[in-house]
Amino acid sequence: MKNLILQLRSLSAGVVMFIFVISIVALGAMSWTEVKADITVTPHNLSSAGAGQTAEICVFCHTPHGGDTSASVPLWNKTLALPTAYQTYDSLGTSSNDGDIAPVGSVSIACLSCHDGTQAIDSLINEPGSGFDSAGFVADPGAMTGDPVLGQDLRDDHPIGVQYAGGGISEGGTVGTSQGTKVDVDFIDPVVADVNGTTIWWVNTTGGTAGREKEDMQLYTRNDGPSGLVEPFVECASCHDPHSEVNDTFLRVSNDSSEVCLSCHIK
């Protein structure tokens, strides 16, 4: 009997130990994801760019008041270039491109306010703290250089400001039927929802039913597109989440086995 109790004790100690180890492993995995999902540890934490930089992070992109409203980007703290400054993919004239391309006047222009390499990274509309001026930035990072610069000639980049699936999808209905027919059938059907009276679309990458998640390919609604209708477009942030680098280069999903590409294209 005593033996049995001892055996049971060591067995339960073993179980406890096992659960303990599993929880440590799980905790480790969780905090790893959490840490990488946090903008502070990505190259978009520009506050660590140099000694004397402001400790704020969001300020390099967003301002609570007085942002640039010339395009539909959230509270944008940098002056945006004119859409006509950019050369777009459609001017290549590939005969296989079905989607019409709108001027670069949507949310992508926000990324380009740093990634076209034309203005200093710390050139902001509202600098942190009232009366703070650019002299407050001790280390002047200047404009971006090197690989992350796309320039203003976007003909050699994946199309942006482009209608999803060649167009044909509009606020009017649901994919395939009431939402119109995709002009290019080689695309995954987008998911549609109404948020406070605005129609939004995304491409589900998680298979989940939780609504739009940040791992899904976001499609951006434009009503100044070629058709004049409210419809979904592909922009920089369709593929990249500027706030999280769980995957390399801020990608919404890992690009192993070209998963990013196959999230939208049926190939």
Residue 56's contacts (CB-CB under 8 Å, 6 or more residues apart) are: 47, 128
**Cβ atoms 36, 247 nearer than 8 A:** no
Give whichever of 4 and 51 is closer to ligand HEC, judged by the CB atom: 51
Segment near ligand HEC (CB under 6 A); pick from 7-15, 18-26, 113-121, 191-199? 113-121
**CA angle (99, 101, 103) in 5-degree steps:** 165
Confirm or reject binding of residue 98 to ligand HEC (CB under 6 A). yes
Confirm or reject binding of residue 71 to ligand HEC (CB under 6 A). no
Give whichever of 5 and 197 is closer to ligand HEC, judged by the CB atom: 197
- Give me the 5-44 binding string for ligand HEC, x by CB under 6 A, dash otherwise: ----------------------------------x---xx
Confirm or reject binding of residue 87 to ligand HEC (CB under 6 A). no
Nearest Cα residue to 222 out of 191, 251, 204, 201: 201
Tokens of 107: 């949310």
Give whichever of 25 and 185 is closer to ligand HEC, judged by the CB atom: 185
Binding-site size for ligand HEC (CB under 6 A) equals 58
Residue 229's contacts (CB-CB under 8 Å, 6 or more residues apart) are: 170, 171, 172, 223
**Cβ atoms 56, 47 nearer than 8 A:** yes
Task: Measure Cα distances from 74 to 67, 94, 110 in Å.
Answer: 8, 33, 9
Cα(38)–Cα(198) distance, integer angstroms: 28
Min. distance of Cβ 86 from ligand HEC in angstroms? 9
Segment near ligand HEC (CB under 6 A); pick from 29-37, 169-177, 223-231, 247-255? 247-255
**Cβ atoms 244, 36 nearer than 8 A:** yes
Min. distance of Cβ 177 from ligand HEC in angstroms? 20
**Cβ atoms 102, 222 nearer than 8 A:** yes
What is the residue whose two structure tokens read 């270039």? 81
Confirm or reject binding of residue 134 to ligand HEC (CB under 6 A). no
Q: Which of 103, 117, 230, 243 binds ligand HEC (CB under 6 A)?
A: 243
Confirm or reject binding of residue 91 to ligand HEC (CB under 6 A). no
Q: Which of 160, 169, 200, 246 binds ligand HEC (CB under 6 A)?
A: 160
Residue 145's contacts (CB-CB under 8 Å, 6 or more residues apart) are: 117
Q: Which of 108, 123, 244, 247 binds ligand HEC (CB under 6 A)?
A: 108
Confirm or reject binding of residue 192 to ligand HEC (CB under 6 A). no
Cα(76)–Cα(72) distance, integer angstroms: 9
Confirm or reject binding of residue 81 to ligand HEC (CB under 6 A). no
Confirm or reject binding of residue 46 to ligand HEC (CB under 6 A). yes
Give whichever of 3 and 93 is closer to ligand HEC, judged by the CB atom: 93
